[in-house]
Amino acid sequence: MGSLGPLELLVIFLIILLVFGAKRIPEIARGMGKGIREFRSATREITEELRVDDPPRIQPPRQPQQATTSRSEAPAESRSESQSAPAQKQSTAE
């Protein structure tokens, strides 16, 4: 199952020539050319409409937000809160 060789192409062309005649072949070729042009322009219009309507799927990375406290201060605050919570529980239990 290879591609068509020159002999096969010649036979196909001769069959087309016999079926349609020498005068009709240019008309058929013009009609096919117009059809291909219309198909290409229609597909181009559709792809342009799809590109305009769709928002971009890949968003640029966001800038990291700067925290108001430094990283070394945040664990100390959470430790002091966690230490004060058991003390409050003990005082409410009494």
- What angle do the packed helices 6-20 and 24-53 form, to 10 degrees? 110
Please list, in sequence order, all residues whose beta carbon lies within 8 angstroms of the beta carbon of residue 9, skipping any fewer than 6 positions away: none
pLDDT for 43? 95
pLDDT for 30? 95
pLDDT for 63? 85
| pLDDT band at 22; cut points 50, 70, 90 | confident
User: How do residues 31-87 score in pLDDT, each as one tens digit?
Assistant: 999 999 999 999 999 988 877 655 667 777 888 887 665 555 555 555 555 555 555
pLDDT for 45? 92
